[in-house]
Structure 1
Amino acid sequence: IDNMDYDEKNDYYICKNSKKLFANKIINRKSKTGYKSEITCYTCEECHDCQYKSSCIKENNSKIFLENRTKNLQVSKLFHEKRKENLKRIISPEGCELRMNRSIQAEGALAQVKQNMKFRRFLSRGKENVISECIIVAIAHNISRLHNKIVKNKRGIYLIFVMHKFT
């Protein structure tokens, strides 16, 4: 899908060999968690004698020979729309600042917990006990950071301060 052009007005994809893939059906799916999605199925108009067929169509242990098969796509339009929106947010200057700040904070915290606090593995068993232990380690890490900021008189100083949040 990423390597094909899409015509939103007429709702079809154009493959590498300039053939059109038209929508032929819509499937409504419901996952185990209850999420409902709408999948649009696209089929190529003509795949015979295509030079890109072997790289375009996967074998997938099909009983139909490759020469007789056509390209089929299943696309969730909502998923691709949300993906584009998120990509715009991530690439924006504010998104870059947030990612940089978060990566620095997360890496530092994990390194501190593992190296300085010598926390290598959980001592308890069971989901609730592990979550409790993780919370205790996080509180200990935050108290240690607060103590160091108080000692160095650096309270209220941030690496990068972002004024507003995403809308």
Structure 2
Amino acid sequence: YNIQYGIDAEYVVWVTVGPQPTDTTTLLPFLQDFEAHFPQKYLNIIADAGYESEENYLYLEQRGQIAYIKPNNYEMSKQRKYQKDIGRRENMEYNADKDFYVCANGKKISVSGERKQKTKTGYETWKTQYSCENCSNCTLKAQCIHGNRSKTPLETRTKHFEISKIFQQKRAEDLERITSKKGIELRVNRSIQSEGTFANVKADLQFRRFLGRGKVNALVESMLMAMAHNIGKMHHKIQSSRSGQYLFPVNNAA
């Protein structure tokens, strides 16, 4: 089961249990289930990289909520290897007016088509396809064109890629938010509070496996553990005079 905890001020405020193998498709059902039982709606939604998707970005935007979701390439993009990779679209020069990229060898990579893609949740997105004008005899081809599993010889291959322009726009807006002073504070607190809650339940309370079978029993057990965590957290915050503290102060950029 994929257990989702919603954390506010170090307390678990909602729990869901689902069969999803990854976190990407759990955010919307979690928020919908929470809001079906409570009248309040949180303005800021802070989540880790596993929750990033175009569908999630647009869902939150349409409901007047603000996404603070770490892009799934955020940590990787800070590495020198990533920044020096000439084959990555992010490292190419882009002409926004005419909508084309320029590769490291000075060749144009222009729009060659568009296709509609449907996700497992039923969400439809449009992908813009780009292809290089001429990759023949390019001395940088081995560094630019990736994918060693292709059966087509490298000599005859052409550089191409596809992107969702809506997704890239929403990711750029989100990246600006999470790297702001407020975004850093919220992101660091998500790590402390959310990961700390699971650590407490699994390590301190020693809850390592479910005793019952079935989704309902798993949900009940998860909620009981969340209640146990909340009681312990309330006691600890009272004893340490932190009852009114919602966020841990952050002094350094992350």
Instruction: Report the TM-score when normalising by structure 2.
Output: 0.58
Is residue 65 of structure 2 the alignment partner of residue 65 of structure 1?
Answer: no
- Structure 1, gaps ≥5 residues long: 162-167
Q: CA shift at 1:118, angstroms?
A: 2.1
Q: 1:116 aligns with which of 182, 197, 204?
A: 204
| Number of aligned positions between the proteins | 161
- Structure 2 partner of 1:17: 105
Larger of the two Rg values belongs to structure: 1
What RMSD in Å do the two structures reach over aligned CA positions? 2.1
Instruction: Supply the distance in 1 between the matched residues of 2:140 and 2:214 (Cα, whole angstroms).
Output: 52
Instruction: Give the counterpart letter for 2:113 in structure 1.
Output: K
What secondary structure is seen at the aligned counterpart in 1 of 2:91?
A: coil
Q: CA shift at 1:50, angstroms?
A: 0.5
Instruction: Supply the distance in 1 between the matched residues of 2:186 and 2:235 (Cα, whole angstroms).
Output: 25
Instruction: Give the counterpart letter for 2:224 in structure 1.
Output: I
Residue identity (%): 46
Q: 2:181 aligns with which of 93, 96, 100?
A: 93
Instruction: Supply the distance in 2 between the matched residues of 1:151 and 1:41 (Cα, whole angstroms).
Output: 58
Instruction: Supply the distance in 2 between the matched residues of 1:115 and 1:60 (Cα, whole angstroms).
Output: 41
Instruction: Report the TM-score when normalising by structure 1.
Output: 0.85
4+ residue segments displaced more than 6 Å? none
Instruction: Supply the distance in 2 between the matched residues of 1:77 and 1:99 (Cα, whole angstroms).
Output: 25
What secondary structure is seen at the aligned counterpart in 2 of 1:48?
A: coil
- Structure 2, gaps ≥5 residues long: 1-88, 250-254
- Structure 2 partner of 1:26: 114
Instruction: Supply the distance in 2 between the matched residues of 1:30 and 1:107 (Cα, whole angstroms).
Output: 32
Question: How has the CA–CA distance of structure 1 residues 73 and 115 changed in structure 2, closer, same or farther, with 3 Å as cutoff?
Answer: closer
How do residues 23-62 of structure 1 correspond to structure 2 at under 5 angstroms? Answer: 23-57=111-145, 58-62=147-151
